[in-house]
Structure 1
Amino acid sequence: MENETMNPAKVSTSSSVWWLVLLAAAGTFALTMGTRQTMGFFLSPLNTATGLGVGSISLAFAFGQLWWGLTQPFAGAVADRIGAGRVLLAGVLLVALGTFITPLMTSTWGLILAIGVLSAGGAGMAGPSVLMAATTRLMPAERRGMATGIVNAGGSFGQFLMAPLAAALTLGLGWAGAMQALALIVLLALPAAWVLRGPGPAPVAGAAPAPLALPTGEAIRKALANPSYLMLSAGFFVCGFHVAFLATHLPGVVAACGLPAPVGAWALGIIGLFNIIGSLAMGWAVGRWRMKSLLSLVYATRAVAVLIFLLAPKTEAVMLTFAAVMGLTFLSTVPPTVGLVAKFFGTGNMAMLFGLVMLSHQIGGFLGAWLGGQVFEATGNYDWVWTIDIVLAVGAALIHLPIRESVVVRQLRPA
């Protein structure tokens, strides 16, 4: 009898399903993350229209950073129980609703509701914890590293694509019309909820049934009692600090260096572009080297890059080269982090447990964005933040080395 695993029709069908899963997850991440990242583009028009002041409007954005992180473990826990489809459906609708009503808000609390609660919360529900977990469940083990790299690159591509799209829409429709057009564009992600629905088994002939999720409390207790999981979360906290500081303050760094303002825009664009390359490269590397070693390498690279940047003359070429290096490491931490969580605990509670790691990332992000502004106001430069950045990066590189890449919880499967 012909071996089913070698049947060309079976292989072709499986490959088609895999690519459909990747398109759905990466496309959703591109639309939700891309739309969320364009919100800063509308800060000045919002200030002009409402007269609330940059500080009050920034509060809505800052709250959104935390809320995006806080929603992910809860969304993940729900997705682990009822499947990713309905969680993604609700998330996409909330992003669209929050973005659509933002131009109608005239108070600080209204903006906090629209930007900080609805849009950011929806982006958290349709964010990396749920998307990565759904992708991990629906892909065979040998393809998961590259798959998470592709999904991660989708978010980077969304950032790279949606900013110029928002600018073009603003020219044609005005800023309010542009925001509402972006809200409608987000709805293109709705079909992905059907593709990624359910906690079901991987679509491979003869695959084992999907693992059963542990009770939420038990899963959290096992995770928090595991030193490797805690060290991984600590490293991701550092990643959030780096990413948020750069995303928020890089244009200010460019200005402080006496470089033309367009260099800041180019630097942010280069970070987004090289982030795609870094994400794909890391996805490829995850299946070939120890994941904890890859994470240590990424953080060590950041420490060296920041140190060289501090010592180098602040020319346009140096700034753009620095942006490219940081872009390569920007979110390349995600695939090995996802891979280690899956290796420790399996995929039964994947969305919730990775969501907790993402929460650590966002707490670091809040501190990176907030501390950068505080230090600049106090000293007139960012030197102390760069120093903290280097110390944290070295610490993160070292803290990953003792991680044990072994199974913590054996996956339970239905009889």
Structure 2
Amino acid sequence: MPRVKLQTHSYALVLVSACLLLVLSSGYRAGFGLFMMPLSEARAWGRDVFGLALAVQNLSWGVCAILAGAMADKYGTLKVLLGGVVIYAVGMVCMSVSSTEAQIISTAGLLVGAGIAGTSFGIVLPAIVRAVPEEKRAWALGIGTAAGSFGQFLVVPAIASVVELFGWMHSLQYLGLSAFLMALFCIPMSKFGGANETAQGDTEAFISLKDVALKACSIKSYRLLLFGFSVCGFHVAFITVHMPGYVVDLGFHPQIGAWSISLIGLCNVLGAYYAGVLSGTNSMRALLTAIYLGRVVVITLFLALPISVLSIMIFSAGMGFLWLATVPPTSGLIALFFGTRYMSFLYGIVFLSHQVGSFAGVWLGGWLYEQYGSYNGIWYFGIFLGIVAALLHWPIAEKDYSECLVCTVRTLQD
């Protein structure tokens, strides 16, 4: 077989496997908000309890994403992916039997968050980047991100139906068992995705991750990207967790909330794909600025217009188009700044910022609801943060800073 065809076959297999893994991983995660009301009612908890558990989940995801990224860069992708699958599956099963606040925070929060870290974008997208030719990198990132959104569209309504048929407890157990299917899609990424490339593919010597992090964080554009991405986490996590309950509070059937989250995922299939395409041909800095300003407009209109099923679906479509559209340009900028050698680790640091924002969005949403019986304050705060994020991304300089890491290597070697 000619070399070009072999390479095409290799990265196509990686891309398909990565997309299928992200469909399941992202789909399960997006459905946790559907358990907010039935689980809270069954355990006689306020929404702030399960909200705190999911907030901890996002924080655990972010912290573990750094560790998982460092391990993937050093030891290979396969071990991290398989470990993530097992932890994810066990965590969901344990959620079903958690009867105290400490238990639900430990299972739904710490355990499931760690499992998501090992099976989500921070590990999968760098594997895609290493597998595909450089000229197809932005396009492939868009495809991978869109797959996660398609999982949200496909899996969330299925979870809602399973909960309605079997109840929340058995549904969590079935989801946990089905999560082991993700292991089927891990091996192709290890074989063809460049998981072992980091040990020998680059000419520079391995330097400590602490030095990599310090050097990267000394660069203003990386810091701006890091802080701005936290706003994405705030928006996405708050809406994912609290939108189903918000819709019920407005007097609509719970299925409307499920379809809202599902429609967000469907529309982001297009949004993420085109964000990837545009990232390859346009300024990624300007694209991110436009995305955050677009979110401000969509949320403002949603709050200003009369609430109906139609307005909920229009909001979901608009927000969905912008949902994870931030991921291709954000990960693309990291690859542009520093190359692929430490991408899993450096993306993990930025993603931790995203998850700190997620923690704030989920926890504040639940806490403010319990205090004031309304989500209005958190919606308005989301508008303010969207404006801040746009201002943070605009000054980013789209330059190659990888020589800074090389200089660090030479300095340490001397």
| TM-score between the two structures when normalised by the length of structure 2 | 0.88
Deviation at 1:177, TM superposition (A): 3.5
Any idea what SS the aligned residue of 2:402 has?
Answer: coil
| Separation of aligned partners in 1, 2:302 and 2:44 | 38
Which residue of structure 1 lines up, in the alignment, with residue 134 of structure 2? 141
Which residue of structure 2 lines up, in the alignment, with residue 85 of structure 1? 78
Q: Pairwise mapping of residues 184-203 of structure 1 onto structure 2 (< 5 A)?
A: 184-197=177-190, 199-201=195-197
Which residue of structure 2 lines up, in the alignment, with residue 387 of structure 1? 380
Which residue of structure 1 lines up, in the alignment, with residue 264 of structure 2? 271
Q: Pairwise mapping of residues 350-369 of structure 1 onto structure 2 (< 5 A)?
A: 350-369=343-362
Deviation at 1:227, TM superposition (A): 0.5
| Separation of aligned partners in 2, 1:317 and 1:286 | 32
Structure 2's unaligned 5+ residue stretches are: 410-414
1:287 matched to 2:283: no
Which residue of structure 1 lines up, in the alignment, with residue 215 of structure 2? 222
Which residue of structure 1 lines up, in the alignment, with residue 110 of structure 2? 117
Q: Is the 8 A contact 2:55 2:360 kept in 1?
A: no
Q: Is the 8 A contact 1:267 1:319 kept in 2?
A: yes
1:17 matched to 2:24: no
Q: Pairwise mapping of residues 398-413 of structure 1 onto structure 2 (< 5 A)?
A: 398-410=391-403
Moved more, 150-159 or 287-296: 150-159
Q: Is the 8 A contact 2:51 2:366 kept in 1?
A: no
Which residue of structure 2 lines up, in the alignment, with residue 209 of structure 1? 201
Deviation at 1:402, TM superposition (A): 1.3
Any idea what SS the aligned residue of 2:91 has?
Answer: helix
Q: Is the 8 A contact 2:234 2:358 kept in 1?
A: yes
Q: Deviations over 1:187-213 (max 9, x none)?
A: 2221333222253449xxxxx934655
| Separation of aligned partners in 2, 1:26 and 1:137 | 15
Deviation at 1:356, TM superposition (A): 1.0
Structure 2 vs 1, CA of residues 296 and 373 (structure 1 numbering), >3 Å: closer, same or farther? Answer: same
| Separation of aligned partners in 1, 2:292 and 2:231 | 9
Q: Pairwise mapping of residues 366-381 of structure 1 onto structure 2 (< 5 A)?
A: 366-381=359-374
1:70 matched to 2:63: yes
Structure 2 vs 1, CA of residues 377 and 171 (structure 1 numbering), >3 Å: closer, same or farther? Answer: closer
Q: Is the 8 A contact 2:230 2:357 kept in 1?
A: yes
Which residue of structure 2 lines up, in the alignment, with residue 155 of structure 1? 148
Letter in 1 for 2:54: F
Moved more, 153-162 or 250-259: 250-259
| Separation of aligned partners in 2, 1:358 and 1:375 | 25
Deviation at 1:255, TM superposition (A): 5.3
Deviation at 1:246, TM superposition (A): 1.8
1:313 matched to 2:306: yes
Structure 2 vs 1, CA of residues 274 and 347 (structure 1 numbering), >3 Å: closer, same or farther? Answer: same
Deviation at 1:53, TM superposition (A): 6.0
Structure 2 vs 1, CA of residues 347 and 405 (structure 1 numbering), >3 Å: closer, same or farther? Answer: same
Q: Is the 8 A contact 1:36 1:120 kept in 2?
A: no
1:326 matched to 2:326: no
1:34 matched to 2:27: yes
| Separation of aligned partners in 1, 2:362 and 2:230 | 13
| Separation of aligned partners in 1, 2:113 and 2:274 | 28
For the aligned residue pairs, the C-alpha RMSD in angstroms reads 2.7
Letter in 1 for 2:201: P
| Separation of aligned partners in 2, 1:42 and 1:246 | 14
Identity of aligned residues (%): 36
Aligned pairs, number: 401
Structure 2 vs 1, CA of residues 248 and 16 (structure 1 numbering), >3 Å: closer, same or farther? Answer: same
Deviation at 1:102, TM superposition (A): 2.7
Q: Deviations over 1:367-401 (max 9, x none)?
A: 12233344445555444333322222122112212
Letter in 2 for 1:180: Q
Which residue of structure 1 lines up, in the alignment, with residue 412 of structure 2? none
Which residue of structure 2 lines up, in the alignment, with residue 205 of structure 1? none
1:103 matched to 2:110: no
Deviation at 1:259, TM superposition (A): 5.8
Deviation at 1:359, TM superposition (A): 0.8
Letter in 2 for 1:199: A
Deviation at 1:95, TM superposition (A): 0.7
Deviation at 1:223, TM superposition (A): 1.3
